Amino acid sequence: MKMARQLPDFQCQSAGLSCLDCGTIVMCVGDETLTAYKISCAENQMCGESRGVASCFEETSPEAEQCHCGDDHGKKPDVFDNTKYIMCLPDSSQVSVPCPDNLIYSHSDLNCIEPPTPTTPYTPTCDQVGFFPRLPECTSYFACFVDSSGSLQATAVFECNSGQRFDESAGKCVPEGALLPPAFQCGDVDGPVADTVECNAFHICFAGTKLGATLCCEEGKKFDPDTNSCSDSVADDKCPTVAQCVDMSAYEYACGGPTTPPAESQTTSK
């Protein structure tokens, strides 16, 4: 083992020994202020960890297995430093290879690549009390409540189970297919019946059967299910709504599409 050299730019998280890379230990020591030192392992040694403490081990020892090529050939990731990789040579020797500046090693690509763009943590904000989906995917949700000071606060974001989406109207996660608007059926009503998607569309039903094509109200009017007629004073809450996370891009609208905007959602930061 070689002499310890100070690492002035290294940020210690806690005192102790850890692997800086497959050939180097980093030692963090101090009381109130921690100082980092690096220690290079000897030629036939590798950095490894045992019970949470790092040391230099003989390359054939179990603790060094992650860093030692053994019978491997080609490239091997440095499990402690993704800006490097290990080249396993035909004569069973190995060499540590640094990636070019600002690149990291991808073992799936067997090459140094641009690191993924960091994303800003998702932070919901609230305009009203209730439960709301995280748009646009609706695979998670959050709640807005009034705290003891009278201010609106958001909870953490909760994940739905796999294959589920959050249904704002039901206030819970449901199978994703349940968010699709129901296909129109006449049922036992005779006469004009409201469409299940478009507020300005209706159908003529008789004896449980739809008669003819879908009909449209004239421009600016909506179908009122209470009066079974088109009107220019139909409240938005009488219109069918489709969850914002449902992809309706392939839906064939008969009357031009919904005439009311999607239900309001909470402002969110991504």
Q: Is the pLDDT of residue 180 over 70?
A: yes
Residues 121, 14: Cα–Cα separation, whole Å: 25
Q: Which of helix, strand or coil describes residue 16? A: strand
User: Considering only CA atoms, which of 142, 134, 179, 174 is closest in space to residue 158?
Assistant: 142
CA angle 21, 22, 27 (to 5 degrees): 50
Q: Is the pLDDT of residue 173 over 60?
A: yes
List the domain boundaries for the chain: 1-66, 69-118, 123-179, 191-258
DSSP designation for 155: -
The pLDDT value recorded for residue 259 is: 58
- pLDDT band for position 206 (50/70/90)? very high
DSSP class per residue in 102-130: T-EEETTTTEEEPPPPP-PPPEE--SSSE
- pLDDT band for position 261 (50/70/90)? very low
User: Considering only CA atoms, which of 224, 206, 223 is closest in space to residue 215?
Assistant: 223
Q: Which of helix, strand or coil describes residue 64? A: helix
- What's the mean pLDDT when you consider all of the chain? 88
User: Considering only CA atoms, which of 26, 20, 113 is closest in space to residue 75?
Assistant: 113
Q: How many other CB atoms are found less than 10 A from the CB of residue 88?
A: 19
For 31, residues 6+ apart whose C-beta sits below 8 A from its C-beta are none
Residues 5, 135: Cα–Cα separation, whole Å: 50
Which ranges of the chain would DSSP assign to H, the alpha helix? none
27-45 pLDDT per residue, tens: 999 988 999 999 999 988 9
Question: Do the Cβ atoms of 158 and 152 come closer than 8 Å?
Answer: no
Residues 223, 233: Cα–Cα separation, whole Å: 10
Residue 32 identity? E
Q: Is the pLDDT of residue 48 over 90?
A: yes
Q: Look at 41-50, 216-225, 252-261 and tell me which has the smallest mean pLDDT.
A: 252-261
The class of domain 191-258 in CATH terms is: mainly beta
67-115 pLDDT per residue, tens: 999 888 899 999 999 999 999 999 888 999 999 999 999 999 999 999 9
141-160 pLDDT per residue, tens: 999 999 999 999 999 999 99
Q: How many other CB atoms are found less than 10 A from the CB of residue 133?
A: 24
Q: Look at 128-137, 179-188, 241-250, 252-261 and tell me which has the smallest mean pLDDT.
A: 252-261
Q: Is the pLDDT of residue 223 over 60?
A: yes
